Chains A and B, each alone.
Chain A
Amino acid sequence: MTGQELLNSLGKLFGAKLQNKTEFRGETTYTILPSDLREVARFCRDELSFDYLIDITSIDNFGEELRFQIVYELYSMTLAIHLRLKLRVSEEEGAVDTVSDIWPTANWHEREIYDMMGIKFNGHPDLRRILMWDGYPFYPLRKEFPLEGLPSEMPDVAFTKAAPLEGGPFVTQPSTATAKDREPRAHPPEL
């Protein structure tokens, strides 16, 4: 069975659960619902030989209804093919199921997403911050978090201050505008 046939079999088996399929330059991306994640992930690993979870990333689509997007990059060592799974989560829900028992490497990836984006993972065995310290009150990669940071204080542990940006040019504006309008140089400092 070739890789393409495998991917098609995924499409057949989960026909109703796969919301969308895109092909771009030989990369296959499926969009799924958060509720189907574990079922699809298990099938991908056990039946389709996707034994390697390369990465999990999260995207903040600030201003949209389903604000967060989580992307799973899978790879099959035996067939040498990639598969990408995407799902959307709303800010209110703010949580998806863990896959750290399916691919152990997901443990730290999910901790990083929790640390930087504030998305929780149901059933994660050790959901602590991984880069910032425990007790840091913000989620720095969210769009509304300012680049220069916000002041925080934990005596004897750590502290942060806002960095002096001086209105500097490298500041994107959180909005649904296109990249052209969010582009840093479009907002020169007011002199």
Chain B
Amino acid sequence: MPETHSTAYDSKIEGNVIFTRFDAAINWVRKNSLWPMPMGLACCAIELMATAASRFDIARFGAEVMRFSPRQCDVMIVAGTVTYKMALAVKRIYEQMPEPKWVIAMGACASTGGMYRSYAVLQGIDQLLPVDVYISGCPPRPEALLAGLMKLQEKISGEKSLAAQKPELTKKLNEAFA
């Protein structure tokens, strides 16, 4: 009977070890557990609820955990008409969300003010917040929101997460391996 030789892997845990980059691992975790802040301000919120419900099931993308506390949220979905009276409240809620955070402008109103060219409506939430994904539609279908969410996941998977979060550590590592 031939002898077995120990290799680089311990055969007992071989198969449970994955080699990857930090960024890839962090981004993979982040993009598949995007907890939304449902900033439902108008009829888009109805479609947002439909997206969360069983037929469209946003849970397939890991974003089913609607949190009504901004401190537990990753992505703010601005769903609806942002009036000037509400605008600073939206901004304040956004500021209370922990980093890293993203914003989806859902529908025509949140993106541009939509049909409300009027004294009372902020002409696009991007005047106050850094928007990552704009979704067209009035209101958008749930499929469109899911497509927007997938776009955001794509964007997150390309981010330099470690470098952004630990700039000094990355600098040290780069110097050590230079």
Contact = CB atoms under 8 A, between A and B. Distances in A.
Given A163-B123, A164-B123, A158 B117 contact: no
| Interface SS, A side | loop
Contacts of A161: 123
Given A161-B123, A164-B123, A147 B118 contact: yes
A149 interface: yes
Contact of B84 (A138, A145, A160, A168): A160
A132 B85 CA distance: 7
B164 interface: no
Contact of A163 (B85, B87, B88, B118): B118
B88 A164 contact: no
Contact of A160 (B113, B116, B117, B119): B119
Contacts, number: 44
Shortest 5 CB-CB distances between A and B: which pairs?
Answer: A149-B119, A163-B117, A160-B84, A140-B119, A158-B84
Contact of A149 (B85, B87, B88, B120): B120
B52 interface: no
Contacts of B116: 163
Among B88, B117, B119: residue with most chain A CB under 10 A: B119
Among A140, A156, A163: residue with most chain B CB under 10 A: A163
| Interface SS, B side | loop
Give chain A's interface residue range (CB within 8 Å of chain B).
20 to 34
B120 A140 contact: yes
A153 to B, nearest CB: 11
A42 B117 CA distance: 42
Interface in B73-130: 84-85, 87-88, 113, 116-121, 123
Give chain B's interface residue range (CB within 8 Å of chain A).
10 to 19
Contacts of B121: 163
Contact of B117 (A133, A145, A157, A165): A165
Nearest to A160: B84
A27 to B, nearest CB: 31
Given A132-B85, A159-B84, A160-B84, A150 B117 contact: no
B117 A164 contact: yes
Contact of A148 (B84, B85, B119): B119
17 contacts: A132-B120, A133-B85, A138-B119, A140-B120, A146-B119, A147-B118, A147-B119, A149-B118, A149-B120, A150-B119, A156-B88, A158-B84, A158-B88, A163-B113, A164-B117, A168-B117, A170-B117
A169 to B, nearest CB: 11
Nearest to A133: B85
Contacts of A164: 117, 123
B119 A157 contact: no
B80 to A, nearest CB: 17
A131 B87 CA distance: 14
B119 A163 contact: yes
Interface string B6-28: 00000000000000000000000
Contact of A157 (B88, B113, B118, B123): B88
